[in-house]
Amino acid sequence: MTRIAVLGAGYVGLTTAACLAHFGHQVICTDVNEERIAALVNGVVPIVEAELPELVREGLSNGLLSFSTDNADAVHGVEFTFLCVPTPQSPSGRADMSYIEAAAREIGPHLARESIVVNKSTVPVGSTKVVERALRRPDVAVLSNPEFLREGSAVHDFLHPDRIVIGAESEASAVRLSALFLRLSAPVVVTDPASAETIKYAANAFLATKVSFINAVAALCEAVGADVRQVALGLGYDRRIGPEFLRPGPGWGGSCFPKDTAALIRIAEDAGYDFGLLAGVVAVNEEQHQRVVAKAVELAGGSVQDRVVGVLGLTFKAGTDDMRNSPAVEIVRHLIRLGAIVKAYDPTVREPVAGLDDVELCQDPYAACEGAVVMVLATEWDEFRWLDFDKVSGLMERPALMDCRNLLEGAMLRRFGFEYKAVGIP
């Protein structure tokens, strides 16, 4: 059993802490958010994440997982400290390293001799050095161990990774860290810190590229009369391409792709390389938000000014309560700018959303349909498949639906009298 501290109890930190406790390690997880820690101490998980509540309760009941707001105290005597604090986008596009630096400065004097600090946050190349300087502890090795989990399946992804990446100056410390993951069956890529940090950004950039690519192909399909679902199927069977991340939609969003693509563009720029390809990927994504809104307006008869538009889904994808950089929220903002009266429903959103004061937040999907001239299905929640579309049609001013996720069957909707548009489907 190894003693471990995890700083940050968000999607990455809490998942890391709960899974490492599940492996049998003694883990203490901290956060500066006192309310969050108070809830966790009582076994209440403050985020929507499948399997996480069960793992947290398991760790609390067998005593392997504990929570605290005291970073200095938490790192006392531990062999590994994982940094899982935010690295949000700064106004310049670069990753904001202030949370990492503050955490490192705080724990430096309290770390055990020859312990290891692990950067799990997504950080620019050179960040292990930044942490080393902030720690002021030459006896402590700083390693990079980027995290590739997705929100909504964070626990599953942590327990079944495609690979584990470790960036370390010394092989001995890499071996020590890799021993923590012995329970996992995955290739371990041991490399230098700069390469490990670059792998993380490149992976997110590549996945964002794949989604932008299929969204661009969807636009092409609409122009030439092809069906993007068939095209994606035919592409995905090619093992060099693969079927994943070829679902067209309203554009990618979330807490990672937008900030990490922006950061990688800046990292490249700072190093003297113009990453024009990635800038194009971002531009296609911004166009995609506008394309789906334009289609909704078309379905509304050309204008949404002073008319009700119902929006189904606010989170950036299904399976999470996270609305950071959500395309659905972006769509709502566009609609409001066009003068629409927006009613929205999301199964995980119960409280009014900061910054969306003009939106009427509904507690059930049918309330969002009342008086609407068009419905915009923005997030692919499964429950939207099973709506009573007869009822939806009866509640709306006119039955029209923009399916930004290709979730529904157009033929079925048309039988209910809907005008229906999707993405890349003729």
Are 58 and 22 a contacting pair, CB within 8 Å? yes
Residue 254 interacting with ligand UDX (CB under 6 A): yes
Which CB, 152 or 250, lies closer to ligand NAD? Answer: 152
Residue 202 interacting with ligand NAD (CB under 6 A): no
Which CB, 145 or 406, lies closer to ligand NAD? Answer: 145
Site string for ligand NAD, 14-33 (x = CB under 6 A): ----------------xxxx
Binding segment for ligand UDX (CB under 6 A), chosen from 1-9, 24-32, 233-241, 249-257, is 249-257
Residue 85 interacting with ligand NAD (CB under 6 A): yes
Which listed residue (82, 201, 257, 345) binds ligand UDX by CB under 6 A? 257
Residue 256 interacting with ligand NAD (CB under 6 A): yes
Residue 191 near which of ligand NAD, ligand UDX, none (CB within 5-8 Å, type-dependent): none
Residue 204 interacting with ligand UDX (CB under 6 A): yes
Is 262 strand, coil or helix? Answer: helix
Gap between the Cα atoms of 100 and 21, Å rounded: 23
Question: Could you say which residues in the range 362-401 bind ligand UDX, by CB under 6 A?
Answer: none
Residue 86 interacting with ligand NAD (CB under 6 A): yes
Long-range CB contact pairs, 103-107, < 8 A, 24+: 103/7, 103/8, 103/71, 104/130, 104/131, 104/134, 104/135, 105/134, 105/135, 106/71, 106/72, 107/7, 107/71, 107/72, 107/75, 107/81, 107/135
Residue 76 interacting with ligand UDX (CB under 6 A): no
Site string for ligand NAD, 144-183 (x = CB under 6 A): ---x-x-x--------------------------------
Residue 257 interacting with ligand NAD (CB under 6 A): no
Residue 247 interacting with ligand UDX (CB under 6 A): yes
**Maximum pairwise Cα distance, the chain:** 71
Residue 124 interacting with ligand NAD (CB under 6 A): no
In this structure, the number of other CB atoms found within 10 A of the CB of residue 33 comes to: 15
Which listed residue (253, 313, 365, 399) binds ligand UDX by CB under 6 A? 253
Gap between the Cα atoms of 292 and 216, Å rounded: 13
Q: Which of 67, 66, 81, 70 is nearest to 112 (CA)?
A: 81
Stated length of the chain: 426
Gap between the Cα atoms of 225 and 396, Å rounded: 30
Placement of tokens 């490990």 in the chain: 196
Question: Could you say which residues in the range 90-119 bind ligand UDX, by CB under 6 A?
Answer: none
Number of residues that bind ligand UDX (CB under 6 A): 20
Which listed residue (4, 5, 10, 413) binds ligand NAD by CB under 6 A? 10
Catalytic residue among 256, 362, 369, 404: 256
Which CB, 207 or 300, lies closer to ligand UDX? Answer: 207
Which listed residue (148, 345, 384, 389) binds ligand UDX by CB under 6 A? 148
Are 197 and 125 a contacting pair, CB within 8 Å? yes
**Least distance to ligand UDX, CB of residue 63, Å:** 30
Catalytic status, residue 221: no
Which listed residue (249, 258, 365, 424) binds ligand UDX by CB under 6 A? 249
Placement of tokens 């997110």 in the chain: 204
Listed in sequence order, the residues at least 6 apart from 406 whose beta carbon sits closer than 8 Å to its beta carbon are: 228, 229, 247, 248, 249, 422, 423, 424, 425
Task: State the burial class of residue 28 (Cβ atoms within 10 Å of its Cβ: 0-12, 13-18, 19+).
Answer: buried
Gap between the Cα atoms of 365 and 343, Å rounded: 10
* CA-to-CA dists, residue 298 to 293, 380, 412, 423, angstroms: 9, 22, 21, 14
Site string for ligand UDX, 303-342 (x = CB under 6 A): -------------xx---------x---------------
The side-by-side arrangement of strands in the sheet containing 400-403 is 360-361, 341-345, 308-312, 372-377, 400-403, 419-421
What are the residue ranges of helices labelled H in 89-237? 98-107, 127-135, 154-159, 171-178, 193-224, 228-236
Position of minimal CB gap to ligand NAD = 10
- Interface with ligand NAD by CB under 6 A: which residues? 7-13, 30-33, 36, 71, 84-87, 99, 102-103, 121-122, 147, 149, 151, 255-256
Active site residues: 256
- Interface with ligand UDX by CB under 6 A: which residues? 147-151, 204, 207, 211, 245-247, 249, 252-254, 256-257, 316-317, 327
